Amino acid sequence: MTDTTLDLARQIMACPSVTPNDAGCMDILGARLAAIGFSLEWLDRNGTRNLWARRGNTAPLFVFAGHTDVVPTGPLERWTSPPFAPEIRDGKLYGRGAADMKTGVAASVTAVEAFVAAHPDHPGSLAFLLTSDEEGDANDGTVAVTEALQARGEHLDYCIIGEPTSVNTLGDMIKNGRRGSLSGVLNVKGIQCHIAYPEKGRNPIHQAAPAIAELAATEWDQGNEYFPPTTWQISNIHGGTGATNVIPGQLEIKFNFRFSTASTPEGLQQRLCAILDSHGLEYEIKWTLGARPFLTGRGPLADAAIEAIRSVCGIETELSTTGGTSDGRFIAPICGQLLEIGPSNATSHKIDECIAVDAPAQLSAIYRRILEKILLA
């Protein structure tokens, strides 16, 4: 029997769609969707291909979201088989995008094809939000589509993103939220001078050290049922001229908060500055809010996903908010319930990226069962 999901995954994996290049993936996917009654709307921006495809005009609106771009391959000679010539061996599908996230995209398309074939007059509406700018700067992809949808007052009731979320076996973990990301560049000002005459200067490294220790020891929040506690980490630190006999005039520290819904970016900024002020530092900070946290608690979509994974895979799934950011941060503000459900994340972005060869068909079956639980209940 032909595995239509595996075939489609291999077809789009063969497209060398290194971000932000789509390399023809969306033409393949768009043709499949148009053939089952979807209207296609291209919302390209600054060279990024974005597709909004919709079938139906009634509520509720169920959306599958994903990206067709992949990260660069790395050294080709290190791949066992060419990254854009998908190959099956040892029970696995190999190639760039197998995990992140062309299998998820393919599975969502074949799930909808099967669902529409069985229920051509289904209640509600179906849509796809596809972009080729997720692995790069993410300035002109999903964010562009959600801005367009928001501008015309469109609201998504349910959304599944096919990002790789599983750990050891398909379905053992799904993401029902993501932490926020708040970064800062802190410049602590001192007075440069000869190191033999420290009384003539002010060493910003010495001044900042107690503040750094307090920041590292601070409990920002305790998290909650779904999120671990907020963390603060230094990623880069630099001070000095390179000479051994000069007290530096400034210290630069780059840091990041990964924060839960138990904190706000404004509150974290205020608390950090209060600690710096308490140590008498002269400083400047440039802040960058990369993402706000989002969460979908237990409800119709999460319950449907849990049941679908139990039915298809025979296991109990774990709801998790761990990991980095995703395009879900752009969709969540206009979506009632959002989950990320996909294959194993073990080899994402790695040389010889791969997933279990039976994962595409299983993932498609999970998606279809979720659709049935949500739209046909």
Complete DSSP assignment for 3-57: -HHHHHHHHHHTS--BTT--TTHHHHHHHHHHTTT-EEEE--BTTB-EEEEEE-S
Other CB atoms within a 10 A radius of the CB of residue 179 amount to: 27
120 HSE (CA, 13 A, CB side)? 4
Crossing angle of the two packed helices 359-375 and 300-313, in degrees rounded to 10: 140
Which positions make up the binding site for Zn(2+)? 67, 100, 135, 163, 349
Tokens of 282: 């002269």
* Planar angle of CA 339, 311, 171, nearest 5 degrees: 45
Cβ atoms of 114 and 36 within 8 Å: the answer is no
Which positions make up the binding site? 67, 100, 135, 163, 349
Complete DSSP assignment for 203-236: -HHHHHHHHHHHHHH-------SS-PPPEEEEEE
Catalytic residue among 69, 113, 133, 327: 69
Cβ atoms of 89 and 352 within 8 Å: the answer is no
Distance CA 100, CA 348 (A): 6
Is 7 noted as a catalytic residue in this protein? no
Classify residue 68 by its DSSP letter.
Answer: -
User: Looking up tokens 């179906």, which residue turns up?
Assistant: 126
Distance CA 219, CA 39 (A): 50
Cβ atoms of 30 and 53 within 8 Å: the answer is yes
Distance CA 254, CA 238 (A): 9
Catalytic residue among 22, 134, 340, 353: 134
Tokens of 339: 């989950």
Is 134 noted as a catalytic residue in this protein? yes
**Helix or strand holding residue 115 (H, E):** helix 102-118
Q: What are the residue numbers of the active site? A: 69, 134
